[in-house]
């Protein structure tokens, strides 16, 4: 009546009537009860050990309260619990910093884990396509750990075997919206493990006033603002070159003037010099008295000043050859920082072809040979395209302020920077919210960090000129 089926499947047929579909009864393996009890017992013991290891304080409190209840009754346990709560509240009000670091952020991490991430983990992974189905079985990335600080949640994740970081970086919008955050950033911890950062608030939402001028002369790193995690932003200028890109009104001048402000004591002591090229005549001209005659605005004068910087660099290289490989600032050989505002006007938009070639050649020479002999370049521009700034890869440290297009982020910070969360094209165009906010990618770290430079007002610049310009 039926065709011969492979194996023993024919004996599992449970219906043979023509109007009923053929149904196969799956084979059932009867497991002895003792094995079932052993399996569930092992799972319970493993979960207990894992919970104790991950949450030792919570387990200890529960065990102590239970022991007090068993030994002295519930009034004693309630009194003990009240004493603990009162002590924690007193600690929180008297020493909020240490309480948050030791207790508060741990409790917040546990609450966020249970109420947000573990609750929505399977759904977000499935909808975003990060979970995989193979032969009817679902494989899910593993949520390992949640930690919190004052502004963000950080999630440690174990990827599925065969996944790549690009699988996650392509879905940062899915992850952010899935867990109710404004953005998500992806970083590699080690092979197979990622760190997802979900900001809860924005510590850089308010403008930062101009920072005090340092008391001691130093050539860096100079403090110019604040990082997103609350730490001071210190920018290295000696021994590197810095490229700053941002649309009009993004706050490029803040980075230039903060750097000058941080170098003022060193300039006064003769350990540093700032040479300023200001073809726009609107930014660095406010403080031209600070530059000791090393200021140029006319394109021809800018080319001459760059040629002079190349000459200084080459003379130092000749004297240092065979004697030293790195530069130490001295009065005889001070650190020279060449500031170029709107560098694209000199390298791309300059109508005089000869001047354009001279400028580009001098900048390329300084960028390739200058940092080992104490000559650095900090250049700012609006358009980061290769045809506008064809030597942008010669700058080890790069800063991207607000940009007009998402493609420009990788042009400035390097391939993959936007996928890792450097959303420079999403920075607010409102000056109070977005001016001076940037993503910075340093030579020593491939991961972009979000920062904000302090705002140096015209009044601050005039005060700098009035005090340090006379001394110069």
The verdict on whether residue 469 carries a ligand-binding annotation is: no
| Residue 251 marked as a ligand binder | yes
Contact 338, 366 (CB under 8 A): yes
436 is in an annotated binding site: no
Residues 6+ apart with CB under 8 A from 52: 59
Report H helices in 405-469: 407-413, 431-434, 458-464
248 is in an annotated binding site: yes
Q: Which residue in the block uniquely carries the two structure tokens 């430079």?
A: 453
Specify whether the backbone of 149 is left (phi greater than 0), alpha (psi in -120 to 50) or beta: beta
The length of the chain is 472
Cα dist from 90 to 76, 83, 94, 274, whole Å: 21, 11, 6, 52
- Asked if residue 346 lies in contact with residue 359, where contact means CB atoms within 8 angstroms, the answer is yes
The structure tokens listed for 103 are: 């207790």
CB contact at 8 A, 189 and 195: yes
Mapped onto helix, strand or coil, the DSSP state of residue 161 is coil
Is 247 annotated to bind ligand?
yes
Q: Is 250 annotated as a binding residue?
A: yes
Quick one: which of 210, 209, 79, 196 has its CA closest to 147? 196
- Exposed/middle/buried for residue 222 (C-beta within 10 Å: 0-12, 13-18, 19+): buried
Q: Measure the CA–CA gap between 403 and 428, rounded to whole angstroms.
A: 10
17 is in an annotated binding site: no
CA angle 19, 25, 30 (to 5 degrees): 160
| Both structure tokens of 277 | 């090229």
Q: Tell me whether residue 252 is annotated as binding.
A: yes
Query: Which whole-number Å values give the CA distances from 44 to 72, 118, 119, 386, in the listed order?
Result: 29, 20, 21, 61
List, as residue ranges, the binding site for ATP.
Answer: 246-253
List, as residue ranges, the binding site.
Answer: 246-253
């Amino acid at each position: 009546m039926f065709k011969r089926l492979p194996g023993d499947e024919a004996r599992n047929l449970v219906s043979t009537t023509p109007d009923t579909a053929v149904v196969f009864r799956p084979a059932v393996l009867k497991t002895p009860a003792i094995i079932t009890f052993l399996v569930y017992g092992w799972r319970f013991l493993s979960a207990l050990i894992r919970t104790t290891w991950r949450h030792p304080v919570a387990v200890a409190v529960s065990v102590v309260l239970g022991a007090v209840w068993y030994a002295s009754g519930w009034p004693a346990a309630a009194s003990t619990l009240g004493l603990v709560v009162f002590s924690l509240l007193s600690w929180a009000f008297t020493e909020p910093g240490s309480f948050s670091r030791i207790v508060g952020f741990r409790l917040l991490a546990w609450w966020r884990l249970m109420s947000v991430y573990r609750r929505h983990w399977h759904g977000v992974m499935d909808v975003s396509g990060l979970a995989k189905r193979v032969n009817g079985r679902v494989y899910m990335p593993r949520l390992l750990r949640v930690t919190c600080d004052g502004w963000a949640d950080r999630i440690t994740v174990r990827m599925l075997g065969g996944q790549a970081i690009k699988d996650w970086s392509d879905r940062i919008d899915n992850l952010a919206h899935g867990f109710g955050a404004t953005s998500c950033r992806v970083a590699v911890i080690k092979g197979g493990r990622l760190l997802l950062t979900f900001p809860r608030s924005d510590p850089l939402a308010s403008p930062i006033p101009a920072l005090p001028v340092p008391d001691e002369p130093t050539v860096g790193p100079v403090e110019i603002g604040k990082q997103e995690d609350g730490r001071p932003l210190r920018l290295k200028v000696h021994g590197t070159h810095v490229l700053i890109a941002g649309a009009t009104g993004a706050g490029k001048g803040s980075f230039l003037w903060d750097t000058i402000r941080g170098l003022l004591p060193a300039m006064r002591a003769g350990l540093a010099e700032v040479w300023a090229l200001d073809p726009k005549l609107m930014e660095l001209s406010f403080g031209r008295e600070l530059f000791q005659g090393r200021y140029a605005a006319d394109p021809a004068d800018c080319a001459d000043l760059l040629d002079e910087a190349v000459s200084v660099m080459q003379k130092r290289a000749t004297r240092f050859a065979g004697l030293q490989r790195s530069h130490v600032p001295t009065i005889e050989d001070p650190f020279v920082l060449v500031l170029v505002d709107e560098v694209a006007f000199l390298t791309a938009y300059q109508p005089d072809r000869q001047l354009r070639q001279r400028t580009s050649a001098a900048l390329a020479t300084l960028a390739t040979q200058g940092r080992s002999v104490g000559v650095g370049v900090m250049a700012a521009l609006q358009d980061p395209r290769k045809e506008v700034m064809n030597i942008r890869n010669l700058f080890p440290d790069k800063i991207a302020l607000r940009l007009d297009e998402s493609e420009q982020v990788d042009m400035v910070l390097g391939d993959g920077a936007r996928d890792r969360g450097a959303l420079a094209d999403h920075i607010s165009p409102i000056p109070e919210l977005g001016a001076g906010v940037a993503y910075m990618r340093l030579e020593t770290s491939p991961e972009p960090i979000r920062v904000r430079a302090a705002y140096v007002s015209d009044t601050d610049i005039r005060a700098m000129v009035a005090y340090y310009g006379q001394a110069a």
